[in-house]
Amino acid sequence: MKKEEPKKVNKKLFFTITVCVLLVIVFILLNSYALWKITEKQGGQNVLTTACLSIELANANNASGFTVNDSWPISDDEALTRDDNIYYFNIVNSCSNAANYQLVLESIETPDSSKHMDSQYIKVQLDDKAITRYSDLTDIDDDTSPNLGYTILDSKQLLIGTVPAAKNNTNGVVSHSIRLWISEDAPNETIEMQFNSKVKVYAGQGVPEPEIVYTPDNCFVMDSNTPGVLTALIASEECGRDIIIPATIGGVPVTKIGSRVVRYNTDFDSIDISKMSFLEEIDEYAFYDYYGENAELIIPNSVKTIGVGAFNDYKGTDLVIGDSVTSIGNGAFQSYIGYDDEELIIPSSVTYVGNSAFRYFLGKKLTLNEGLKTVDLGAFASYSGRGQTLKIPDTVTTIEDSAFASFGKYGDGTLILSNNINKIGATGFVNYPKDITIPKTIRFLGNTAFGSLEGDDTVTIKMSEEEFNSPDITKENYWKGYAQVVYDPD
């Protein structure tokens, strides 16, 4: 008798939406809460109110947020493109004092404890921050939870923040979104298991909003011919070593920071430009000699262009680029290393990253967003990946010479190319040592663009051999010649 082969389990079919996410928003001040379940239809928008604060669940029918027909698990890329695994809420402050708050995500026991899913298979993204596994979030000691009839397995910190005070009849608001999904590496053994969780907001007592002490106007030199252009910072005992530049100087909005406003790197310990809400342009070499080794640098959301070498020597602890910046000039942040735990996010407004703009960035993670079109010579030439999967956005069409020359060399990073890329310049990914897929849109491959590929590596080309070898595609010696080539036209 022929022995029947055991049936293989297809987890993509059987792993349906068993993630039961309970979003419980709690103000400890009054021990009140709002509860939402995916298994119940929410009739309308929830608004939870205390003396000063309220929580608004931004989408009225939040039940649709996790009611999906597709099977799970899903990849990170797919999770970030879907609108059925995201939940929005606002924290609103109507009082004249700011309020501190903490966002907490808690894993709670399922009705059948034997079916509780291991939290390492749950992926979480708060707002547009880095994706993480629930199990990797920061543990907190949470003994203040109201008794909702659930056993809390563990509590994780998502964020500590402040809701600004209400001003001029306008409430202070912070907005958040949270995504949860089952990781695609979840094993078949977890089929039909559940992961229940809740989100809580702990709000502290209202605290006075700290008064910002700006550097005096006489510590700045403004262009006498062009209004709104800052040309120099004055180093003096009166002005101090920690500079906070206001939005207006002498009653005039500052719209541009001119070239070389800092003369010597020893003059200042920190320079804060985050309050310059009218600033649109930072000129070339504006802070060329500013080290800022123990300071953070926040580029305001009003800024559109960052010039050549603008922060060439910046070696600070954190860098935040505003969401209106469209162009980052050559060498703009060339010495920004990023340290071990820094994440560098290039916002979706940026279309061009210049030559050597972040050449020495060695941080934890690099995020490139849709909207970016051109990555110039050596822009991220020292970034090794450090285990990250780096997705080059599909809006990118051009990667110039040595743009990612060290990616994958030391950090075991994985690369996914843009599906619309036309050009990869010489040594563009010269030290990348893994399999690579080249899209059918490619028209130029520079010398040793993938110069470290060897016999165990596979180059998959998304076109026929005849198409790839046509005169329409310029190919220099784009790898060593040892890699295996697979032609896979759509």
When pLDDT is averaged across residues 136-162 and rounded to a whole number, the result is 71
**Mean pLDDT computed over 152-160:** 82
Band of pLDDT at residue 393, cut at 50, 70 and 90: very high
| 22 confidence band (pLDDT: 50, 70, 90) | very low
125 pLDDT above the threshold of 80: yes
User: Under a CB-based contact definition with an 8 Å cutoff, are residues 352 and 374 in contact?
Assistant: yes
How far is the C-alpha of 31 from the C-alpha of 101, rounded, in Å? 14
pLDDT beyond 80 at 242: yes
Q: What is the mean pLDDT of residues 159-181?
A: 82
Angle CA 398–399–402, to nearest 5: 160
Question: HSE on the CB side for 68, CA within 13 Å?
Answer: 22
Question: Which is higher by pLDDT, 340 or 398?
Answer: 398
pLDDT band at 340 (very low <50, low <70, confident <90, very high): low
Q: Is the pLDDT of residue 1 over 80?
A: no
Q: Residue 160's pLDDT is what?
A: 83
User: Mean pLDDT over residues 315-328, rounded?
Assistant: 89
Q: What is the pLDDT of residue 63?
A: 38
Tell me the per-residue pLDDT of 275-306, one tens digit each, with 9 for 90 and over.
Answer: 999 999 999 999 987 887 777 889 999 999 99
pLDDT-derived band of residue 213, with 50, 70 and 90 as boundaries?
confident
Residue with tokens 């009166």, as numbered in its chain: 238
| Domain regions of the chain by residue span | 11-207
How would you label 391-413 residue by residue, b for 16+ Cβ within 10 Å and e otherwise?
bbbebbbbbbbbbbbbbbbebeb
**Which of 133 and 39 is assigned the larger pLDDT?**
133
Kindly list the distances between the CA atom of residue 174 and the CA atoms of 12, 55, 187, in Å, as whole numbers in the listed order.
Answer: 37, 10, 37
Give per-residue pLDDT as tens, 47-90: 444 556 666 655 544 433 343 344 567 788 888 887 767 777 78
pLDDT digits (tens, 9 = 90+) for 217-236: 999 999 999 999 999 999 89
Among candidates 125, 130, 108, which has minimal Cα distance to 117? 108
Report pLDDT for 321.
Answer: 94
Burial 94-126 (b: 16+ CB within 10 A, else e): bbebbbebbbbbbbbebeeeeebbebebbbbbb
pLDDT for res 467: 92
What percentage of the chain has pLDDT greater than the value 90?
Answer: 32
d(CA 482, CA 458): 9
When pLDDT is averaged across residues 358-379 and rounded to a whole number, the result is: 90
Contact (CB, 8 A) for 25 and 33: yes
> Considering Cα of 450, then 456, then 461, then 467, what sign does the dihedral take?
positive
pLDDT digits 0-9 by tens, 255-266:
999 999 987 667
Quick one: tokens of 422? 């036309």
For the chain, give the mean pLDDT. Answer: 78
Q: Tell me: the pLDDT tens digits for 78-110?
A: 888 877 677 777 888 777 777 777 788 877 777
Local confidence band at 16 (pLDDT 50, 70, 90 cut-offs): very low
* pLDDT tens column, 460-480: 999 999 999 998 999 887 765
Higher pLDDT, 481 or 11: 481
CA angle at residue 102 from 341 to 39, to 5 degrees? Answer: 105
User: What is the per-residue pLDDT for 454?
Assistant: 66
Which letter does DSSP use for residue 81 in this model? H
Question: In this structure, what is the dihedral angle of CA atoms 182, 184, 190, 196, given to the nearest 10 degrees?
Answer: -10
Which pTM value belongs to this model?
Answer: 0.59
Q: What is the mean pLDDT of residues 240-260?
A: 93
